[in-house]
Each structure stands twice: as C-alpha cells, then as structure tokens.
Amino acid sequence: MVKAVVGANWGDEGKGKITDMLAQNADVVVRFQGGANAGHTIKNKYGKFALHTLPSGVFNENTVNIIGNGVALNIPILMNEVNEIVKKGVPKPIIMISERAQIIMPYHIKFDEYEEERLAGRSFGSTKSGIAPFYSDKFAKIGFQISDLWETEEALKEKLAGVIVQKNVLLEHLYHKPLIDIDETFRTLMQYKEMVAPYVCDVASYLQKAIADGKTVLLEGQLGTLKDCDHGIYPMVTSSNTIAAYGAVGCGIAPYEIKTIISVCKAYSSAVGAGEFVSEIHDEAVADELRKRGGDGGEYGATTGRPRRMGWFDCVASKYGCRLQGTTDVAFTVLDVLGYLDEIPVCVGYDIDGEVTTEFPVTRLLKKAKPVYETLPGWKCDIAGIKEYEQLPENCRKYIEFIEKKIGYPITMISNGPARDDIIYRKSPLK
Ligand code: GDP
C-alpha cells in the first residue's frame, strides 16, 4: 500500500507534521525529489526539528527511511541531520540511500551562489543549496550517481576531468571565480563515499519487495504543486517535480501502486521567494499579524529563516494544486491560527482582463490576475485541543465546507495544532 503526502500550494503547508503523524503506522518513508533547499518542521516527543533531507519517518525506530533516486543529495547535510537528531535523543534511524540518487557536488553550491550574484536584482531568490545547477547537470547527463563513487580512481577522475573542464570555462570567463581542482574534488568524493557506504542499496528492488509483502510505504513530497517545475509558476519554481506522479519516478516503483494521495492544504497562504502570488496580503500590518501567528512560532523559512509572504486562502490555486496531485484526500492544516480574525477573505476567482476565472492560468496570464474575494465570518475562539469535527465552532465548519466545495476535493483531515495528535478526522460528503 503506497500513500503520498504532497503539498497542494507553494510548500510549507505542514507536510512534515502530516507525514510524521502517518509515519507512525508506516513501514517505509521515502523522500523522492528535491534537496536541502526546503525543510519540514516536526514537533514530537523528542522536541522540535527542522528536517531538510531526512525522511520524516526517522522518529520511529522501526521505520525504514529512504532517499530515492530523484533526490538532490547533499551528503554532508544528510549526515549532520542524522547526528543532530541522535544528539537530541532520537534512536539512530534506519536509512537507505538509492545507489541511483545523484550527488550535490561542492561546485553546484558555488555555481548557485555565483549565478544569483551575477543576476543580482533579477535573481530567482534561490536558497543557494545548489539545486538548480544540480538538476541542470543531471539532465545534461554530467551528474554523479552515488554508485559512481565505487568507480576506479582512474575512471572517476576521468569523468571529473570531463565535467570540470566545462565548469572552469564558466568560472574563469563568466563568474571570475577560483577554478575547480580535480584532485581536491576527488578527495571530497572519497569522503562522501565513506559517509554513505553503510546506507547505499538498490532502493527500487527493496520497495518492490516491500510492496509485495504488503508493507505501508509513504512517499513524502517537498514543496507544493505551484513550485513544480512543469506545472507550477514557472520560472519561479523549484528545479524538480513536486507532484505525486513523480513519486513513482523518484524511487522506482510502478505508478499504479500509489493508491492514496494526501494533498496538504494550508488554511491560509504563504510563499517564499519571488513569483506570482495572487492572494498575497499587501497591507503589511495585516500580513505581519498573520505571519507572527502562523505555523508554530511564525511563518519564517525552516531552512533560511526568511519571513514568508502571506496571503488569504486561494481556492483557484488550491483546486489546481489538488487536481495536479491527483488528490484522494485533503489534509487542511494550521486552521487554529485563524481564530483571531473577525472575518476571513477567501480568494474564489481571478479577474484577468475583466473576466473572472476559477481555472489557474499559465504564468503570462497569472501576472495579470487580480483576486476576487468572498469574505466569511471568523469564529473568534481557540480551536486547539478539539478532537471531533462536530465540536468545531459553526463558522469554522462553514469555512472548511465552503473551501471544500470550491476546490472540489474531500477534506478528510483537519490539523488544529503542530503536534502529532492535533488532528480531526472527518467524513467528507465528497468521498
Ligand atoms: P512543510 O514543509 O510542509 O512540512 O511545512 P513547514 O515545516 O513550514 O510546517 C509548517 C509549520 O506549521 C511548522 O512549524 C509546523 O510545526 C506547523 N504546523 C503544522 N500543522 C500545524 C497546525 O495545524 N497548526 C499549527 N499552529 N501549526 C502547525
């Protein structure tokens, strides 16, 4: 049984919490795309953690945590994360790394920095984790798979020389930065080899067997639909595919094995970095209030600490976000945060050149879209601790049901706090 937990918005929807919750009953948790450029925040009995690379199953002793082939693997960051959680008292997790996963090379991080510097004001707001240069190299077929670390010294150096010659031309003539040394890079790779050696295996075969044995496998997505390289707000997207369909590619299982797709949707919107964001709150005082109250300790990047851009719930973007994911269930998160508001605007359409649409458009048109709002009454109380749907205040249920109707996907889980058990299960009329 394979389930995917993915984001229906711009990321930071609370996927970490939902995965951590579901991971308690999962045999295997898999990261299938992205790198250390975004983080999940998880709060459990061991404390509060920001995981960037590790799958969220690492807090359960018996869960196998897999880094799939689709991941951009920063090996030192992965190792630091393992050490950090163990230092905080978490039992040493079981980890497997796909031999086909590719490595973030030290020069990927440098190129990310140099390119942002070169673009200056026109930059993509990259986290400078090397993700875009990494995926560029992967698809240009000059990346390094983990298994390459077991090549002979001669073969690996020859491959490095072929790649580095091209990198050094750019470094010298475009960026005017120090050149890459082949021997030094080789030595770094040998250190990486030592670090990953205990964990490397044929993940796709392992998963095939696990599925045949009836194990529960959770695929854990990073970011959300609107940051998907194909279906998001291109070019202000991430360099990988954030949709559940890629979950099959990113760890080597059959696509039809993914039976449940849980799209995590936040009860309001937030986004990081540049890019179109139609329901953004432009009144800074209003945005700041929501930002400070948002999430667990405010809406600030888990990796970068950057303040997130804040917005009202966007039914147009979320309907599209859920559709592209192939949603079977929506987990509606961080609803408790909205309890302070007298009334809550919800974006129900986009006005593009005087015509209102509920279909999420391509970037060219998105740039012109103005939000059309409907305002719902707030519930003005704290809903933390409530366990039954019927016990939620009426206006709170109306908010959920209004959004469910607009997006057209069943909201079956409502998260009303950061902890594992802050969850309300609901029978949806759409299911
Ligand atoms: P992810 O990358 O999608 O996991 O998102 P983040 O790490 O940014 O998680 C969102 C933040 O909200 C984290 O600090 C979570 O602990 C917190 N969080 C998740 N669900 C809830 C919720 O229902 N209520 C509150 N108040 N915080 C939540």
Q: Check pocket membership of 293 for ligand 1, CB cut-off 6 A.
A: no
What's the mean per-residue pLDDT of the chain? 95
**Which amino acid would we find at residue 130?**
G
Q: Which range has the worst mean pLDDT, 87-96, 116-125, 174-183, 404-413? A: 116-125
Average pLDDT over residues 219-241: 95
CA distance 371 to 350: 5
Q: Closest ligand 1 atom to the C-alpha of 264? A: 3
Angle in degrees, CA 356, 395, 393, rounded to 5: 155
pLDDT exceeds cutoff 80 at 3: yes
Q: Which of 255, 220, 277 is nearest to 30 (CA)?
A: 220
pLDDT at 386: 97
pLDDT at 39: 72
| Cα–Cα distance list, 147 to 102, 108, 156, 189, 200 (Å) | 9, 19, 11, 11, 8
Would you state the structure tokens that stand for residue 306, as one six-digit string? 């950057």
275 CB-near residues (< 8 Å, 6+ apart) = 233, 236, 237
CA distance 111 to 129: 10
Rounded to the nearest angstrom, the distance between the alpha carbon of 14 and the centre of ligand 1 is 4
Q: Check pocket membership of 416 for ligand 1, CB cut-off 6 A.
A: yes
pLDDT tens, 124-177? 767 788 999 999 999 999 999 999 999 999 999 999 999 999 999 999 999 999
Is residue 353 within 8 A of residue 361, CB to CB? The reply is no
Top mutation candidate among 18, 41, 54 for ligand 1, by most atoms within 8 Å of CB: 41
Place of tokens 């205990």: 198
228: annotated active-site residue: no
Q: Facing residues of 411 across strands?
A: 330
288: annotated active-site residue: no
pLDDT tens, 373-396? 999 999 999 999 999 999 999 999
pLDDT exceeds cutoff 70 at 303: no
